[in-house]
Chains A and B, each alone.
Chain A
């Protein structure tokens, strides 16, 4: 029975039976001439090439599909309106303190509602019919806090004003339609009428179609691409009907004003176990980890950077578990995130070019 041949396991069987030694053997080849590679064939610092497609959904105001290797994510952004009278403890924003005011409308009135759904059968451990897993809840919260802390969405675009007066959006419209005499009359009304009557609430829903590691980066890329794609119809407060109405024509729809292009980059730290004689104490940093690697690593680092202005800005650093990472490492990680930013930026430019071609 036990012929030598039957004892030889295929690499996939080996990976399933003992994943940790399998990954270690790949990163630490017996033959020094071969370069250490991860089980997925990538170099430790090599990321998967992202692919972005936007505007594929018709019921959402903005949507994006992002594929990062075998991780596929759909994000749909949907705008709904809320009246200021329905907001508890509402304070009218005064135009003077637009900058540096303690009033953060997006956060105080909960105008951004991101949710990440993993229970779509995207991987065997995420099946529907159960409450959201810890991972799904963590991801939603992390995305929520990053959306607010990065101040990505310009709140002024989410305000809805009474018809014909106020609002940057309305003004452009008015200029075309009205002659100057009428405009002057309008100016007179502005003082008393320019009060925010309602807000747009953006429901940002992220669905995982396929899951192969690095959920946060991919979900964030999808949210970013979908928000860039979002075009809200021109809305105004109709005083007679006491409700918010939208203009039907597509020309009046305006894109959101996004500040910058923050990109998240995640890396996991893989350590050899103490018990293993070979290479104990050494560690490897695996950028953009896949599902197998994520299961074997205790320590993960996520850095969010924005390079749109030319210089690199760090918007967030988070690190969980483990004791390997130090300040030196963080510097290297920021450099890795910078190259990741270039990659995502290139994918976005490509997606925009595709859309124009269509």
Chain B
């Protein structure tokens, strides 16, 4: 069995369960993002993979070996910490060479490898600088280079880009993904930023309350969310309650909507992305509502509609600007293709 495999991993701190019965399989060479709100257990899960915390129950396998109890320093990891954890008493070069030095690699070879890595992170000639003299983005790159110095079996990053400003963060996301694809290294990133996860990951693992809610490729997470938490957490969505009669016809906000495949007699919630909500003239077969607010963001127009006591948001591009004003009655059409039925 290759890759990283977690089986029924649980971590309790006293009576608090931080990670609850998590099983996950990460094939070799893939990029996985652990995504979730703060306190969802994603960092604890990563710390257990790194050996910085021990699971209360469950096992962790790497490349066919059970590493659950293996101490951190024997796991051959590369890890980038949220605080970056660059050693303040060492230079940039010494930081990068640290894992080589403590393995007794010769001075010449250390220097060669440091130069290679500095070139890779676009900071050639920085070896003798003090880490305190670097900018945020440079420190970030040095931390990444340091973690990759020994070509680790597993590359772990805990909220690696959270200290950077928005523009730099976006650029680093792309760079990190390209680097990972070039090296083909198995990578796990903890993040609370869904854009970051969508940009970089092969597989996004959405966590909440210590449990995995869904693990799937980014587009599938967005298009086919497993539950209302995932639907709401990833991007914007409208969560609309529905009920179905015995013939499987669904009633949504007082209107029959055709074409939804719903089990007979079920009740539940529909997740409809704002860009999939179509505004039309009021009439038969569409949900009746009233425009309450229009937000024109320049690149997109958000129209807020009150319907059946609920607010529904529709997003359109400036080309397809809806011809509506606040207070106007409109119809809402839901496309069965893009309306996701969430089990209740």
A-B interaction: no
* A contact set with B: CB distance below 8 Å: none
